[in-house]
Structure 1
Amino acid sequence: MGITARGVGLLVAALVLLGAGFRYAYPELTVLGAAAAVAVGYAGVTAAWRPRLSVERRADPDRVARGEPAAMELTVRNTGRLRAANLVAEDRCAGALVPVPLLRLRPGRDTVVRYAVPTQRRGVVPVGPLRVVRRDPLGLVALARGYGDAVPVWVHPRIHPLSAVPTGAGRSLDGRTDSVPHGSITFDSLREYVVGDELRRVHWRTSARVGELMVRENVDTSLPRLVVVLDNRASAHPGRVAGVAESFESACEAAASVVAAAVREDLPVQLLLVAPAEAEPAGAAGPLDRL
């Protein structure tokens, strides 16, 4: 609970008036001081009332490319049974405050607010929680509370369409060059037998030597793979404008375009960073979220 400057002044005046009234036996000052003290107490009780609100968020969509439109839909319901909510609410979106009208929200009713989420910069845009400020009619005490959880909106780099993804070709055992997977054909290692393994893959000679069943583990040497390496070192992108290095943004867009094309062609792809990256945010899934 936070007392405003007006509330501090009125509280100090109440103490002074009460002290002077009792000290010099002035009942008028005592009455004024008591009235001021009652006003501050009433303001504290009024602001301390906690409205019962439920907050639901829905990002539409929750993952977009840089510059594409994204919106947040906020639904606030008054779950109380007696009093209508007449509050001042603000939603936090990327460090900015978005006003949410909660005027005369009757019990059991809800209000829906929809606003745009800024996507001009690549990154994770946190939205929320809802900040509700409760004030008394005299403006003496203000109490702010948070409702609901924060929902992230993932802003990916721009993806440029690629007609095809260049893939490497592996040498098959029969001497033919092939880029199409034909199944497990090359021995890789031995491991212990587990229920469900095919008996034809059991390596009987090793099993007899170690005293337990050992199974051959094979790999496919003809399966094409893509590895995208992104140079994320600060020294490689020295030119920055307002904290943004356009050369790095272009590199991220190129990496994202290759990754998206590989995923579209059902090809395995791996994203590697030159410099160790910071801890990934919760909920990150896939290389595009890493970018």
Structure 2
Amino acid sequence: MASEALGQATVAHDRREGLGGALGEYALIALRMLRGALGVVRPTAWVLLAAAVVLWVLGRSLGWWELTVAAVVVTVVLALCLLFLIGRTAYDVTLDLNRTRVVVGERAVGALTLANTGSRAILPSRVVLPVGAGRGVFDVHRLAAGASAEELFAIPTSRRAVVKVGPVSVVRGDPLGLFERVHRRDEPVDLFVHPRTVLFDGQSLGFVRDLDGMPATDLSRDDVSFHALREYQPGDDLRHVHWKSTARTGDVMVRQYEETRRSHFVIGLSTSPADYRGEEEFELAISAAGSLGLRALRDSQRVEVRVQERALPAATGKQFLDSLSGLGHSKARAGGIVELAGVVAATMPLASVVVLLCGSKVDANDLRAACGRLPYGARVLAVVTETGASPSLRRIGDADVVTVGALDQLAGALRKVLA
């Protein structure tokens, strides 16, 4: 008997828990529906709703016909505005950017296509396209079943950034702006605004790999220090196939090399706000870093880029410029150019060429200390950006220090270094 009573109590408890769980789910659904219903009410509508309630109460309690008439008018206006929410907004939305990567100053052109794939017409509505901190608004007329509409737009780019375009929102509302129903469509697209860069003719950096490079422990598919033979793998350069071994073994064999330290081109870009006199100097330093990195990549150098708090991906030119697009200032605790040089020395001890970039607030003592921390035997070049300054070259310790006041001065200043 005791076991039967216990079993019945357990069943009753389970039923209560199941009922409680079901009620909890229904409560959550009801809460979501209530939140969605309240979400269509704009602040102005809340004011009018409160005014209507007050007018109704005062009109009834005081017996003033005028207050009752005013309450009726406000209530009718609210009801009529609610009618504008009725209707479908089931557009098939396509957001197409002509280019997702542009340079500062270029316009990004795109198209927004809205298609009615349903069997009924869609009443006029507004489409909102967020672009960064701003937004574009398009008025879409009545769209018949099977019809489509296209809206073209252009995004001006005045500064380097990663701009999020979208998601597209379809808005249905009344002319007075009292109620508004928003449906989000499509996925946002990232627009990369790259910094300005300049091109150098030929191997203007003058830092190429040679047979005197010190071997490292890393193996490479392409260098000058032969290490061994191995079987061919997809993606290997056919220029490195060793045909005699291939004929002898019957398997395709390729040469494997040891990386030399002269294949390591390192850029140390300071992002500390204390190193710059303003945003113009900071942007100039980023543009100079981008120009140097792109030239080194074209020269088949292995490029590594460090800022105070992290390494920037730089395997390809596109990846490198993308990482520069979203680069901002580092935190004060990350230190300046001296601390950055210490990080470079600790993480890249086999660098052959190190280029440090900073602003004009860095004095000669800090530059000397930073260059002294870099790996022994590496050639060091420091680029100091100073807005409006004339290009100049000086020596601090074993490092060449170039000062540039504009991006177009960089190529000429480097020629002086290599002269």
Give the structure-2-normalised TM-score.
0.50
- Superposed displacement of residue 115, structure 1: 2.0
| SS of equivalent residue, structure 1 residue 259 | helix
- AA aligned to 1:273 is R
Q: Following the alignment from structure 1 to structure 2, what is the Cα–Cα distance between the partners of residues 232 and 224?
A: 23
Contact kept? 1:167, 1:226, Cα under 8 Å: no
Q: CA deviation at 1:21?
A: 7.5
With over 3 angstroms needed to count, the CA separation of the structure-2 counterparts of 1:259 and 1:44, relative to structure 1, is: same
Higher mean alpha-carbon deviation, 159-168 vs 221-230, is at: 221-230
Amino acid in the other structure paired with 2:283: E
What are the equivalent positions in structure 2 for 1:108-147 lying under 5 Å apart?
108-136=146-174, 139-147=177-185
Inter-partner Cα distance in structure 1 for 2:67 and 2:152: 52
Q: Distance in 1 between matches of 2:177 and 2:273?
A: 53
Aligned length: 254
Corresponding residue of 1:171: 211
What do residues 153-204 of structure 1 show as CA deviations (whole Å, max 9, x unaligned)? Answer: 111111211112333333279xxxxxxx5676237xxxxx9998xxx9xxxx
Letter in 1 for 2:144: R
For the structure 1 residues 41 and 288, does the alpha-carbon distance in structure 2 shift closer, same or farther, using more than 3 Å as the test?
A: same
Q: Pick the structure with more strand per residue.
A: 1
The verdict on how the C-alpha distance between 1:222 and 1:27 changes in structure 2, with shifts beyond 3 A counting, is closer
Other-structure match for 1:97: 135
Cα deviation digits, residues 20-41 of structure 1 (max 9, x gap): 6777999999898678656535
Structure 2 vs 1, CA of residues 33 and 70 (structure 1 numbering), >3 Å: closer, same or farther?
closer
Pick from 287, 290, 295 the counterpart of residue 261 of structure 1: 295
Note closer, same or farther for the CA distance 1:9–1:68 as it changes in structure 2 (3 Å cut). Answer: closer
Give the match's secondary structure for 2:142.
strand
**1:236 deviation in Å?**
5.3
**2:75, 2:273 → 1: CA distance?**
63
What's the TM-score once normalised by structure 1's chain length?
0.68
Tell me the amino acid that sits aligned with residue 41 of structure 2. I
- The answer to whether structure 1 residue 273 and structure 2 residue 310 are counterparts is no
**For the structure 1 residues 221 and 128, does the alpha-carbon distance in structure 2 shift closer, same or farther, using more than 3 Å as the test?**
closer
What are the Cα deviations for residues 225-276 of structure 1, in whole angstroms up to 9, with x where unaligned? Answer: 2423132231453312xxxx222222222221222223334x1432322301
Q: Unaligned 5+ residue runs, structure 2?
A: 1-38, 214-221, 234-244, 246-254, 325-419
Higher relative contact order (CA 8 A, sep 6+): 1
Give secondary structure in 2 for the equivalent of 1:287: helix
Q: Which runs of 5+ in 1 are unaligned?
A: 174-180, 188-192, 201-216
User: Cα deviation per residue 1:79-101 (whole Å; 9 max; x = unaligned)?
Assistant: 33213230122222232222212
Alignment correspondent of 2:98: 60
Higher-helix-fraction structure:
2
Q: In the alignment, is the contact (CA less than 8 A) between 1:186 and 1:221 conserved in 2?
A: no
CA distance in structure 2 between the aligned counterparts of 1:168 and 1:112, rounded to whole angstroms: 51
CA separation of 1:3 and 1:271: change in aligned 2, threshold 3 A: same
Q: 1:26 to 1:79 in 2, by over 3 A?
A: farther
SS of the residue 2:166 aligns to: strand
CA contact (8 A) 2:265 2:296 kept: no
Identify if the C-alpha distance between structure 1 residues 275 and 33 changes in structure 2 by more than 3 Å, giving closer, same or farther: same
Give runs of aligned pairs for residues 230-245 of structure 1, distance below 5 A.
230-235=268-273, 237-240=275-278, 245=279
Q: Percent identity of the aligned residues?
A: 26
Q: CA deviation at 1:123?
A: 1.6
The worse-fitting range, judged by mean Cα deviation, of 10-19 and 59-68 is: 10-19
What SS does structure 2 have at the residue aligned with 1:74? strand
Note if 1:157 corresponds to 2:225: no
**Helix, strand or coil: the match of 2:139?**
strand
Contact 1:270 1:287 in 2 (8 A): no
Q: Secondary structure at the match of 1:263?
A: helix
Q: Does 1:185 align with 2:226?
A: yes
* Distance in 2 separating the partners of 1:278 and 1:184: 27
Code of the aligned partner of 1:55: V
**Comparing 28-37 and 74-83, the one that deviates more:** 28-37
| Residue correspondence of structure 1 range 213-228 to structure 2 within 5 A | 219-221=257-259, 225-228=263-266
